[in-house]
Amino acid sequence: MAFLQRSELAIKTDRPRPKRFQRKFGWVGLLFAVPALIYFAWWVIGPMFYGIWISFTNENWFSPPQFVGLANFTAMFQSPEFWHTLERTGLYLIETVIPGLLLAFFIAWIINQLRRGRMIFLAAFFIPFVVPTVASAIVFEMLLQPSGIIDQFFHLRVNWLTNPHYALLGLSIVTIWNLVGFYIIVFLAGLQQVNPEVLEASTVDGANTWQTLSRIVVPLMRPTILFAMVTSTATILTNFTQPYVLTNGGPGHSTLVLPLFIYQEAFTYSSGGEASAMALALLIASVMLTYVQFKVVGQE
């Protein structure tokens, strides 16, 4: 009898709940989400639409803005400095994203093969990511000086941050050092989702390491690779701290990337309208790059 009573109770509790009960708890869940929605609307959605509005005005922070239509966009596209900065930003993106992701994948592949000490290596590589960006940039500014430790250790005479030919490369190296630890974790998580039996079967069939990586591991990790490409591209396109602290765009504008150029236009030259137009152009470029990455990498 006790068993039958417990069974009847279980059947009763498994019955669908009334719609009124579901609506009540639906509103409760929405109420819990309201603070996050308010925060997101106030600090993200609101400033974004305000920036779009400013891009169509002659905002200079000292007088009420007046609507000027597409004048800021016309001046932007006619400015040679804008195109040079855009080209420089694209080069910075290529020098940082491709080598950084390849290095992260290679290190993650090696760590994934380890049987012992995996957590020690993960902690060592992840530390640069959690170090404050400003602090690491200041340290590297001292290390990359002509008389710094790096040149002395490798017996080099490279002015990493003062030579226009090497400054962007030095900036890219520091950025890779700062971000590679995060993407090692990302790729390692993706590698651990690959079925070991598939890898063993490829080894039995005579596939070498390169064939296993290119034909089995990489296709299976396509979602992880897509995530890493999209997030790293967005990070580099909006990276302001390291260019500002290390070189402030110099020497000779050789490291003046688009986020830093927007900052200078807005707060150094008080051209808020033109700066907002450039920020909107950067947003559109980021969306287009993301779309291309989804079409190229995300397609089956």
- pLDDT confidence of 283, banded at 50, 70, 90? very high
pLDDT value at 16 more than 60: no
pLDDT value at 5 more than 60: no
Report the share of the chain in percent with pLDDT over 70: 91
pTM as predicted:
0.86
Decide if 231 contacts 250 (C-beta within 8 A): no
Q: Is 29 helix (H, G, I), strand (E, B) or coil?
A: helix
CA distance 250 to 267: 17
Peptide bond into 251 cis (omega under 30): yes
Locus of tokens 């803005």: 65
pLDDT value at 298 more than 80: no
Q: Which domains does the chain have, with CATH numbers?
A: 81-297 (1.10.3720.10)
CA distance 250 to 243: 9
Question: Residue type at 35?
Answer: P
Q: Which pLDDT score is estimated for 204? A: 83
Q: Is 35 helix (H, G, I), strand (E, B) or coil?
A: helix
Q: Kind and range of the H or E element at 135? A: helix 133-143
**pLDDT tens sequence across 154-171:** 777 888 888 899 999 999
Q: Which pLDDT score is estimated for 19? A: 57
pLDDT value at 20 more than 90: no
Which tokens in the block code for residue 249?
């765009």
- Per-position DSSP letters for 166-214, written without gaps between them: THHHHHHHHHHHHHHHHHHHHHHHHHTTS-HHHHHHHHHTT--HHHHII
What is the DSSP secondary structure assignment for residue 215, as one 8-state letter? I
User: Measured at the alpha carbon of residue 282, what is the angle toward residues 88 and 42, in degrees to the nearest 5?
Assistant: 140
Q: Which of 169, 173, 215, 165 is nearest to 194 (CA)?
A: 215
Decide if 230 contacts 147 (C-beta within 8 A): no
pLDDT value at 13 more than 80: no
Radius of gyration of the chain (CA): 26
CA distance 157 to 27: 66
Q: Which pLDDT score is estimated for 7? A: 46
Decide if 96 contacts 86 (C-beta within 8 A): no
Decide if 289 contacts 233 (C-beta within 8 A): yes
Q: Which pLDDT score is estimated for 287? A: 93
**pLDDT tens sequence across 22-74:** 565 667 778 888 899 999 899 989 999 999 999 999 998 888 999 999 999 99
